[in-house]
Amino acid sequence: MSSEFWGPDFDALKSQDPEIATIILDELERQRDGLQLIASENFTSPAVLAALGSTLSNKYAEGYPGKRYYGGCADVDRAEILGIERAKALFGAEHANLQPHSGASANIAVYAAFTKPGDTVLAMSLPHGGHLTHGSKVNFSGKWFDIVSYGVRQDTELIDYDELRDLAMKHRPKMICSGATAYPRLVDFEKVREICDESGAIMWVDAAHFIGLVAGKAIPSPVPYADVVSFTTHKVLRGPRGGMILSKSAHAAAIDKAIFPGLQGGPLMHAVAAKAVALKEASTPAYQSYAKSVIANAQALSSGLAEHGMRSVSGGTDTHLALIDLQALGVNGADAEKRCDAAGITLNKNSIPFDPEAPSVTSGIRVGTPAVTTQGMGIPEMAKIAEFISLAVRGKGDPAEIRAQVTELTHAFPAYPR
């Protein structure tokens, strides 16, 4: 190892391309000054950013370690092997593929590995929290597959496992997908495994949102139960933007072939190395205590919002996110998102189960605590945030005044040092 790192040189960017440099600085300020409550976002570490900004980006490495289509891959092979070993150890997985460019790419690979166009797949309905890649009409999954959807019960707002079993036995899907993008509760993986065994389906868990909580040992893992687990590396897990797939060894070849040469070309080796860095970070006691705080903060934020008349769907959360029903306030999700934005609070409108409003309007918002917890905020700050959201959503108070209080709070917990 030479001691000289040739990497991100922001001064060079500033002098060579001041327009882009300015945009990057403006975005850094936005991330630092505002409250980042989007449940799928986080602040990745300087170490991860250094790997991402490295010359590994230059290297073509189609294939897998030891089996590349290009020469000169000895160094990047070491990065990928290390990443794979770390992933297998952290999650107790038999096989890991670190090459998916994103969560959506990882999911396409899962379909490619286990199904043919026209096959039946059972997945969580989008209006009840599922992801676009779980069968939306505008997504490849909805166009190429016969998607059957399950949802939550109207009374409990929890996954209806009886409906899931009935649909599985009736339609005999090739694959059952569990995991969602806006479901605040734990999934009963043991029960899903039983249903998969009974109906003869592949058990696919899309763990994009909560895999970081699994890594931090704060919630139960789907890995012992599932045939395949796909996820993103940039949400609670706090790594670079990208995807990953874990599977049983019996499916290793199918998964690897689906990613390459099935649907991707050269892997992003800088991102693969950055994923390895994030996996090392996620294996520490510090990350485990982070994961627990993310959940404690989400629960505090959920009850804080309830005190201000904003109910959490299902009555609370077991994870890093809460889905908030705004109907009692008479404000829709789209307006709430805009009002919060004006006050320096970034969150998203979100459909709630059985939402009477259109997806472009919605009756709810989704809030998440991965980013604010990385900043070091805790329970007292969640009470403040609930109050800021309440003021902003109701349209009471001057947005500029709320924004000033938000900035005071975020400056006390800087996302990145100045």
Ligand X SMILES: *Cc1c(COP(=O)(O)O)cnc(C)c1O
Residue 142 contacts ligand X per CB under 6 A:
no
Burial tier of 102 (Cβ tally within 10 Å: 0-12, 13-18, 19+)? middle
User: Least distance from C-beta 292 to ligand X, angstroms?
Assistant: 21
For 121-157, b/e burial (b = at least 16 CB within 10 A) is bbbbbbbbbbbbbbbbeebbbbebbbbbbbbbeeeeb
Consecutive H or E run containing 243: strand 243-247
Kindly indicate which of the ranges 201-209, 253-261, 315-323, 374-382 contains the residues binding ligand X, using the contact rule CB under 6 A. 201-209
Please say whether the beta carbons of 176 and 122 come within 8 A.
yes
Query: Can you list the alpha helix ranges (DSSP code H) found in 246-313?
Result: 252-257, 269-282, 285-307
Strands (E), 263-402: 311-312, 321-325, 345-346, 348-350, 364-368
User: Least distance from C-beta 319 to ligand X, angstroms?
Assistant: 12
Q: Which is nearer to ligand X, 232 or 410 (CB)?
A: 232
| Residue from 36, 115, 133, 317 binding ligand X (CB under 6 A) | 133
C-alpha distances in angstroms, 249 versus 246, 253, 255? 9, 8, 10
Q: Which is nearer to ligand X, 233 or 314 (CB)?
A: 233
Q: Which is nearer to ligand X, 347 or 386 (CB)?
A: 347
Residue 232 contacts ligand X per CB under 6 A:
yes
Residue 206 contacts ligand X per CB under 6 A:
yes
C-alpha distances in angstroms, 386 versus 21, 123, 302, 383, 392? 34, 33, 8, 5, 10
Number of residues that bind ligand X (CB under 6 A): 15
Residue 209 contacts ligand X per CB under 6 A:
yes
Phi, then psi, of 201 in degrees rounded to 5 = -105, 150
How big is the chain, counted in residues? 418
| Residue from 36, 139, 149, 181 binding ligand X (CB under 6 A) | 181
Cis peptide before 261 (omega within 30 of 0): yes
Kindly indicate which of the ranges 15-23, 100-108, 262-270, 383-391 contains the residues binding ligand X, using the contact rule CB under 6 A. 100-108
- Residue whose C-beta lies closest to ligand X: 103
Residue 410 contacts ligand X per CB under 6 A:
no
User: Least distance from C-beta 233 to ligand X, angstroms?
Assistant: 8
Of 93, 104, 55, the closest CA to residue 76 belongs to 55
Please say whether the beta carbons of 215 and 287 come within 8 A.
yes
Q: Which of residues 7-66 bind ligand X (CB under 6 A)?
A: 40
What is the set of active-site residues? Answer: 60, 62, 206, 232, 235, 241
- C-alpha–C-alpha distance, residues 74 and 77, integer Å: 5
Q: Which is nearer to ligand X, 135 or 344 (CB)?
A: 135
Kindly indicate which of the ranges 17-25, 76-84, 98-106, 380-388 contains the residues binding ligand X, using the contact rule CB under 6 A. 98-106
| Residue from 93, 104, 386, 402 binding ligand X (CB under 6 A) | 104
Of 111, 112, 141, the closest CA to residue 126 belongs to 141
Q: Which is nearer to ligand X, 152 or 329 (CB)?
A: 152
- C-alpha–C-alpha distance, residues 119 and 146, integer Å: 6
Q: Which is nearer to ligand X, 238 or 339 (CB)?
A: 238
Residue 264 contacts ligand X per CB under 6 A:
no
Q: Which is nearer to ligand X, 365 or 409 (CB)?
A: 365
Residue 399 contacts ligand X per CB under 6 A:
no
Q: Which residues bind ligand X (CB under 6 A)?
A: 40, 102-104, 107, 131, 133, 179-181, 206, 208-209, 232, 243
